[in-house]
Amino acid sequence: MRTVRLRRSLAVGSALLVSAAALTACGDDEEATATTTGEGVLADVCPETVVIQADWEPEAEHGGIYSLIGEEYTIDADAKSVTGPLVVDGEDSGVNIEIRIGGTSVGYQSAQSLLYQDRDIMFGYGRVGEYMITQADTPVVGVLASMATSPYAVYWDPETYPDAKTIADLKDAGATISVGSNEDVWVDYLVGTGVIDEDQVDRSEQNKPANFVAAKGELAEAGFITAEPFMYEHEIPEWQKPVIGQLIHDTGFPEYFQALTVRTEDVEKEADCLEQLVPVMQQAQVDYVNDATATNELIVEIVEEYDTGWVYTPEGAEFAHDTGVELGILGDGADGVMGSFDLDRVQTIIDIVGEYGPDGDAVSDLTPEDLVTDEFIDDTISVG
């Protein structure tokens, strides 16, 4: 069943809430769908609906794309998608935006894979260090770095390890680090460069947060610095104390996490659209950094409607946003431009994957230009 809603905001008055209720009722009875007027700056150059495939459930780390959705929108709880007019400076752009989630609803398939299964999808999230491995079969190019720094980190209990200030300090402390069963290159990179020892690494699939809590502080863990520290301190009653951590980025592995990618062929085929749309997406990232309130409300509402088992609170969303801004995860690139890529940094990722990744041969002939482009970036847009 589809429900048409009007985005909630702290500034929304009672009359607007009545309108939202009317739209919801209409959606229940008539399968109504929020749509654009068809007139606007993107109407003549972009698809009628710009589809974005996320890599996970709705969360604040995706705030930039969700802030593109206009006030009238449709949540499809069955399809696990939300659709509405794509807004530019508060005005209808002439096209719709549809955001689909990843994770369980797509069988944990990558957005890169889904881009080639469904040609309606225009953008997909991807990690540069991951999508480069399958470029031969499903080539994509990053057109916007939605995060300046990856939020992925290792964190631990400061009471158990009071002398540990960095991941490297955990080696001297003899701490076991739970990294899960995924073959992430960063783990082999840390082992290969001597930051940690292989016998510290637990690569088994862990039940998070149960195993961390059961270890009573002895276990370090990998996850999002923008999420798990809040979860453990405020949402896990069996723990309820701080954890601290270090970003993987700060160990020398400068991953671009959640880059917005398109099919390589679309860099040319959709150039007219991308030239107009990417700066709009840049500005949406800036707007989310500066004021996340309404978008976080939308994200929490969508999570509740989807009811996949993923739990997300307003407080958790606020923490993710604030921590992301504080640590420069959500912010401008090194050149002071929102969403730009550093080609030297991309080359470093290629080199690391080539040396430490299990599929290193697959990237031996790649160049940064094969993987990312700033062709459509407006270098005047920044948080400042």
Q: Residue 234 maps to which CATH number?
A: 3.40.190.10
pLDDT at 13 over 60: no
The residue among 85 and 89 whose pLDDT is bigger is 85
- The parent domain of residue 48 ranges over 2-149+256-371
pLDDT at 182 over 80: no
From 186, 221, 251, give the residue that closes a domain. 251
Which pLDDT belongs to residue 39?
77
pTM for this structure? 0.91
Question: Does residue 82 share a domain with residue 156?
Answer: no
Which pLDDT belongs to residue 30?
38
Question: Does residue 217 share a domain with residue 323?
Answer: no
From 202, 221, 251, give the residue that closes a domain. 251
Residues 6+ apart with CB under 8 A from 355: 192
Q: Does residue 229 belong to any structural domain of this protein?
A: yes
Q: Are 217 and 157 in contact (CB under 8 A)?
A: yes
Overall number of domains in the chain: 2
Which pLDDT belongs to residue 269?
98
Question: Does residue 198 share a domain with residue 144?
Answer: no
**C-alpha span between 69 and 50 (Å, rounded):** 11
Question: Does residue 206 share a domain with residue 136?
Answer: no
From 198, 227, 251, give the residue that closes a domain. 251
Question: Does residue 293 share a domain with residue 206?
Answer: no
Tens digits of residue pLDDT in 234-254: 999 999 999 999 999 999 999
Which pLDDT belongs to residue 73?
97
Q: Pairing state of beta strands 259-263 and 140-145?
A: antiparallel
Q: Does residue 177 belong to any structural domain of this protein?
A: yes
| Region for 195 from its dihedrals, namely left if φ exceeds 0, alpha if ψ lies in -120 to 50, beta otherwise | alpha
Least confident residue range of 103-112, 199-208, 318-327: 199-208
Question: Does residue 316 share a domain with residue 188?
Answer: no
Which pLDDT belongs to residue 37?
62
% the chain with pLDDT above 70? 90
Question: Does residue 266 share a domain with residue 358?
Answer: yes
Q: Does residue 190 belong to any structural domain of this protein?
A: yes
**C-alpha span between 24 and 83 (Å, rounded):** 14
Q: Does residue 234 belong to any structural domain of this protein?
A: yes
**C-alpha span between 228 and 209 (Å, rounded):** 9
pLDDT band, residue 27 (cuts 50/70/90): very low
Which pLDDT belongs to residue 36?
63
Mean pLDDT within 296-310: 97
